[in-house]
Chain A
């Protein structure tokens, strides 16, 4: 299997995530999109690691990233909960306090 296929998979995954982040209104969905983009990056790391004979750094690094991502997801969700409590909404179009 050529490396391109795997990289394209990563790209597709990343684009899906980006699309979800940009297009969906719900905060939870945006968070999910971000996870997808993160995992696309992980996929890239694994791909390069697989084609790099005898070296496992990429895969180990991915494991670390997954761990950190879990923590980050927890922090993200906590923020979402706080944001929801404050704005009484999980719709991003209602959260526009940064408007200049």
Chain B
């Protein structure tokens, strides 16, 4: 039998301190970069740059080395030892590079984008806080500590969404994001509690070992182990095993914006655009997928099915919603939700490697899209003055920007092609990989599990459609803003951004091509996908899903051509539809500018994102408000009265005690002091100061002594 203490051995090493530095640098940026005045933003940027260099250095040393865990004591309750542990493995190394790299690019971009903001220093400090908390999630290998940093990430996201808090919509969006994330976190912590109940530890290594040792006996989930020599036997109903996985997935649902909590992400676009690129496209929303990857091996078949189906639904719903948005950032936000749906679905079907692969490629091309959208918004804002005001994010004011901003156009195009998934771009490789795995999964699952596949392939069409629609509306046709504004109101024209704005997007556009991954059309053979191997499930065999690792490579190989052809044809179909609908001069493109909202029920469903917000407002919100108002009533009528009554009783008691105090205790004190005073007066009166009375007294006393001696 294995002892928990033997798993949780304390380990340290020189790299442990490097990991701490990796964590401490962004925290330093958060704490101290505010003290440098005008240079603060630059100092924050340099710090994040150093962090990137450090993570690249660690990667170069440790890549292909397996994994290494550092562990130390944190605290203990009774027999339960709580440790903290940090991990170095491929996933952590690559993730830390992505986080630091995107964070650095966003820092550089923000130097220009936020230059005129008066709270720019605070902004950069928040970015530091975000990078710190994200690194915490990535580095730590203990569910409890991951949860702590998970909350910190939620906090920094909240702060950055509500950065322009004077805008009412921004502060509401921040609250919405925070609250919906909390709902997911309730699930997360439930999962943590289930695992702790069963295994007595939250260290992921211990959890995984215990999961491997646990067995299903009858319908009971049983584990027995030693804790410091003491034998421990835990059993729970087998359904708790699935429940733990689904509960942990709830955390990812909140953070990675999955159905049904995904409504916060589109609203989160109220934050500054670089923040959307960093947090709401590339890194924070990927934290949910990262968490799923960390707990991947302890998810059982049922939990994985839930994950796959939720992912597919999310991908499809969001892709539909992206079709008809006017706001360029909303399109990108829904597209992000849709792509996150792909990643989560891939985790659900067991395509761990493909999911992480898509996470990385998506991080680059979506950050690139957001940042280039940021350039457009920024440059359009430059046209505003006190007479001219317009919504710089609305695609109805754009159009024809290709002529004015050619470089931005190319960058945007590259990233978009990666998003559509055309060969030659990174998105193609990873999406193809996900769809291939999904098809294999559907084949052996059979039954109703073709639904995720249908949804996922449909999403390919819609992705191509909304992406091309966005490009056509923003960059082609004529510049619509001058037509909207009064005649001759607009003299300037937008132009490309300066170096600080262009450098990050050009880098990201280059990373959107598939060249850096190798010249291939099979995502699984790229070095990145090969670095991240899909682990095998550790849950007891009866509950475990069939691992895709066990499927012969030939099956994948046979399926690959078909999947690729179908997905490319679907993407082409989407592109063609979008082209004919929105090419300059087409009917829909002309009508587009005049309309306030799309007409027709289908378009409305898309525009209002399946009325999910309205549904929540109509059905769930009144229910919640009822609960809160009844709690408020209880608070006012019962608790407050109890407290008031208690207080009154205390006042009465206090008065009684006051009487007692004055009459009895004070009386005693006064009596003793008075009597001593009187005695003092008495003895004092003998000292009359008259010499003769002294003599008489002493004579009398001598006589008395004589009398005493004689008798």
Of B685, B686, B692, chain A has the most CB atoms within 10 Å of the CB of B692
Whether B695 is near chain A, meaning CB under 8 Å from some CB there, is yes
With A22-B692, A92-B692 as given contacts, are A100 and B699 in contact (CB-CB < 8 Å)? no
Closest beta carbon of chain B to A54's beta carbon, Å: 30
A99 and B688 form a contact (CB under 8 A) = yes
Chain B residues near A41 (CB-CB < 8 A): none
B695 and A96 form a contact (CB under 8 A) = no
Closest beta carbon of chain A to B682's beta carbon, Å: 11
Closest beta carbon of chain A to B699's beta carbon, Å: 7
A92 and B695 form a contact (CB under 8 A) = no
Q: How many A-B residue pairs have CB under 8 A?
A: 33
Chain A residues near B554 (CB-CB < 8 A): none
| Complex CA distance for A97 and B688, rounded to whole angstroms | 9
Whether A93 is near chain B, meaning CB under 8 Å from some CB there, is yes
B689 and A99 form a contact (CB under 8 A) = yes
B695 and A22 form a contact (CB under 8 A) = yes
B699 and A96 form a contact (CB under 8 A) = no
Closest to B696 in A: A22
Whether A36 is near chain B, meaning CB under 8 Å from some CB there, is no
A21 and B686 form a contact (CB under 8 A) = no
Closest to B691 in A: A92
| Complex CA distance for A99 and B694, rounded to whole angstroms | 11
Whether A43 is near chain B, meaning CB under 8 Å from some CB there, is no
| Complex CA distance for A60 and B687, rounded to whole angstroms | 40
Chain B interface residue number, banded: 10 to 19
Whether B684 is near chain A, meaning CB under 8 Å from some CB there, is yes
With A98-B687, A100-B684, A100-B686 as given contacts, are A18 and B692 in contact (CB-CB < 8 Å)? no
A93 and B690 form a contact (CB under 8 A) = yes
The 0/1 profile, CB within 8 Å of A marked 1, for residues 649-692 of chain B is 00000000000000000000000000000000001111111111
Chain B residues near A93 (CB-CB < 8 A): 690
Of A18, A21, A30, A99, which is within 8 A of B687 by CB? A99
Chain A residues near B683 (CB-CB < 8 A): 100
Question: 13 more A-B contacts (CB under 8 A) besides A18-B699, A21-B695, A98-B691?
Answer: A21-B692, A23-B692, A30-B692, A92-B691, A93-B690, A95-B691, A96-B688, A96-B689, A97-B689, A99-B688, A100-B685, A100-B688, A100-B689
29 contacts between A and B (CB under 8 A): A18-B699, A21-B692, A21-B695, A22-B692, A22-B696, A23-B692, A30-B691, A30-B692, A92-B690, A92-B691, A92-B692, A95-B691, A96-B688, A96-B689, A96-B690, A98-B687, A98-B689, A98-B691, A98-B694, A99-B687, A99-B688, A99-B690, A100-B683, A100-B684, A100-B685, A100-B686, A100-B687, A100-B688, A100-B689
